[in-house]
Each structure stands twice: as C-alpha cells, then as structure tokens.
C-alpha cells in the first residue's frame, strides 16, 4: 500500500519546531518534512514569489502521495495558502487538503490575553499581509493587535547565533519597538516558526506579567481536532510512526542545524523543486 504521510512544509528549518509538536501529539502518523532551504528566507520575498515557491512545494508533496499538507510557515500561510486553497487545490483532486498555521493560532490566541492587547512578532512578509490582524478580528473582535517585524531574527537563527551575545541587541530592539506601541500588551505571539529558538533570550527581557506564546502545541492540537472531525482523511493518512526529511539545499547543513530545531538527530534527503 502506498504511504500517505502528512506533508509538513517550511521555507527552511522553522517548521521543524511545529513538526516536533505534531509528532509529540500525533505520534502514530507518518510525516514527510520539506525545507526549501535553497530559497529561504521567504519572509522578505514578494507575494508572487512566496506563492510560486509554496505552490511548487505543495505539488511536490502531492506527487509523493500526501493528501494533507500543513504549511508550517507563517509567511507561506500568510501569502500563499488562501490562493492555493481557492484557485489551485481543485485541480489536484477532491481529497487533497492544505492547512496553515495562522488560522489555528488566531482561533485561540485571544484566550491568553486579559488586557485584550496582543503583540505579534513575525517576518516582514507576515506583518505586511495583515493576516493576523484580519484573522484574529474574526474570532476576537474586541482585541487590539500590535505587530512588529523582526527582519534580523531569522538570519541570526539560521546562522546559529541565537544563543550568542550578538543576538541580544536585535532581540531587545524588536521587543522594545513592539512594546512601545502599547504598554497594555500582556501577550506576545511568536508568529514565525523560527522564533521559539530565541525564547531563552526573549523571556528574561519581559516583565513577568507578559506571556510569550509559541505556535507548535497550538497547531498540533488543531490538527488533532481536524483529523477527529475528518475521519476519512485521518483514515487515509498512513500510520507507521515514520518521519522523512527532505531539503532543497545541502543535506549535511540541514542535518546539523535541523537537529537544533527538531531536538533530535535528523537524516535528510536532497530534492529539487520547480523542475
Ligand atoms: N519560518 C518562516 C515563518 O514562519 C520564516 C522564515 C523565512 O523568512 O523564510 O514565517
């Protein structure tokens, strides 16, 4: 029988922080992870480019036998998901589904905040898309959302400098800029799948009443609920507890850096997209 793993996509390593939680909450499923490291970062690219790259990745997942693909990347979810769902999905077959990370997060993020002032830290692309502002307004119309782009954070993390002293300046600077928008912010969402690696630096810079929320567990819980509500899809996904990792760039780099994001050793395979 053909394997039908759940596809998990990111521009690079960040989606591994989501995959880690998926595997923890839904260990029985098979997963196929793809990092488009050769073309990362996505956060500074145009809508058209992110859409094109993400569509190529989704097509690749479907060719590998996946029926369900999770875009474990806020930038791809913000800039490509809706168009893929509305325009492209039909041509791949009635069963296929692509889910993102923004909606599941927006659905519950309001529950974390007492003041109703939510801070969002994300890539420039996610901030400009206004996706979080629009999505949270559906579920928590009384909440006020403040956004701050952190263009230096992904490069710092991707270059393995997230624990070093050089990161402090850029982390503090982005946090200051966010908090200067409202003194009532009591919840900060890390709306980029890379950012949980900076949590040890972020948390001590904040007053104790401000909580920081990462998305991994939220997205995993949402996927578990989705599979419960869609038993046919859950039945189609293969369940051998296997995980495969693919990257569009160097496998040795991916294995070395990816292990930091995933928290366990990784052995990846190289693939090409857009050919
Ligand atoms: N992991 C991506 C996200 O969640 C950001 C990385 C990138 O800019 O490619 O937005």
Cα 197 from Cα 259, distance rounded (Å): 12
β-strand partners of 245: 33, 268
Mutate to test the pocket of ligand 1, among 73, 198, 214, 218 (most ligand atoms within 8 A of CB): 73
225 Cβ contact list (under 8 Å, min separation 6): none
What's the pLDDT tens digit per position in 69-101?
999 999 999 999 999 999 999 999 888 999 999
Q: Give the SS3 label for residue 158.
A: helix
What's the pLDDT tens digit per position in 193-245?
999 999 999 999 999 999 999 999 999 999 999 999 999 999 999 999 999 99
- Residue 31: pLDDT band with limits 50, 70, 90: very high
Out of 73, 150, 237, 246, pick the active-site residue. 73
Q: Distance from the CA of 96 to the center of ligand 1, in angstroms?
A: 24
| Averaged pLDDT score across all residues of the chain | 96
Atom in ligand 1 nearest the alpha carbon of residue 41: 9
Q: Distance from the CA of 75 to the center of ligand 1, in angstroms?
A: 5
Say whether 192 is catalytic: yes
Q: Distance from the CA of 232 to the center of ligand 1, in angstroms?
A: 31
Mutate to test the pocket of ligand 1, among 13, 34, 42 (most ligand atoms within 8 A of CB): 42
Say whether 73 is catalytic: yes
pLDDT of 138 over the 70 cut: yes
Cα 8 from Cα 61, distance rounded (Å): 9
The secondary element (H helix, E strand) that includes residue 9 is: strand 6-10
Its CATH class, for the domain covering 6-100+218-270, is alpha beta
- Residue 52: pLDDT band with limits 50, 70, 90: very high
Q: Distance from the CA of 100 to the center of ligand 1, in angstroms?
A: 13
Residue nearest to atom 2 of ligand 1 (CA): 73
pLDDT at 94: 81
pLDDT of 1 over the 60 cut: no
Chain length of the chain: 275
Average pLDDT over every residue of 113-139: 97
Atom in ligand 1 nearest the alpha carbon of residue 40: 9
Beta-carbon-side half-sphere exposure of residue 231 (alpha carbons within 13 Å): 0
pLDDT at 159: 86
Q: Is 127 exposed, middle or buried (0-12, 13-18, 19+ CB in 10 A)?
A: buried
Average pLDDT over every residue of 233-259: 97
Q: Distance from the CA of 170 to the center of ligand 1, in angstroms?
A: 17
pLDDT of 158 over the 90 cut: no
Q: Distance from the CA of 205 to the center of ligand 1, in angstroms?
A: 23
Q: Which residues line ligand 1 (CB under 6 A)?
A: 10-12, 14, 40-43, 73-75, 123, 126, 154, 192-194
Give the architecture-level CATH label for domain 103-214.
Answer: 3-Layer(aba) Sandwich (3.40)
- Residue 2: pLDDT band with limits 50, 70, 90: low
Q: Is 75 exposed, middle or buried (0-12, 13-18, 19+ CB in 10 A)?
A: buried
Mutate to test the pocket of ligand 1, among 37, 43, 262 (most ligand atoms within 8 A of CB): 43
CATH 3.40.50.1860 in the chain is located at 6-100+218-270, 103-214
């Amino acid at each position: 029988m053909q394997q039908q793993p759940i596809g998990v996509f990111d521009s690079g390593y960040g989606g591994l922080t989501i995959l880690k939680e998926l595997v923890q909450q839904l260990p029985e499923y098979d997963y196929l992870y793809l990092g488009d490291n050769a073309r990362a970062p996505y956060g500074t690219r145009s809508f058209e480019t992110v859409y094109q790259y993400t569509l190529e990745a989704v097509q690749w997942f479907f060719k590998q036998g996946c029926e369900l693909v999770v875009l474990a990347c806020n930038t791809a979810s913000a800039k490509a998901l809706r168009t893929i769902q509305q325009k492209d999905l039909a041509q791949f077959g009635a069963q296929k589904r692509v889910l993102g990370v923004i909606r599941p997060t927006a659905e519950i993020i309001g529950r974390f905040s007492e003041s109703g002032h939510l801070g969002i830290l994300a890539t420039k692309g996610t901030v400009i898309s206004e996706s979080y502002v629009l999505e949270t307004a559906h579920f928590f119309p009384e909440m006020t959302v403040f956004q701050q782009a952190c263009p230096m954070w992904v490069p710092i993390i991707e270059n393995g400098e997230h624990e070093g002293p050089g990161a402090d300046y850029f982390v503090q600077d982005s946090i200051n800029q966010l908090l200067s928008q409202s003194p009532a912010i009591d919840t900060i969402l890390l709306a980029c799948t890379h950012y949980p690696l900076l949590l040890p630096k972020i948390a001590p810079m904040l007053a104790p009443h401000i909580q920081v929320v990462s998305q991994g567990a939220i997205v995993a819980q949402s996927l578990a609920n989705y599979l419960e509500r869609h038993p046919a899809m859950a039945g189609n996904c293969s369940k051998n507890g296997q995980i495969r990792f693919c990257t569009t760039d160097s496998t040795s780099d991916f294995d070395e850096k990816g292990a930091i994001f995933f928290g366990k050793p990784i052995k990846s395979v190289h693939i090409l997209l857009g050919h």
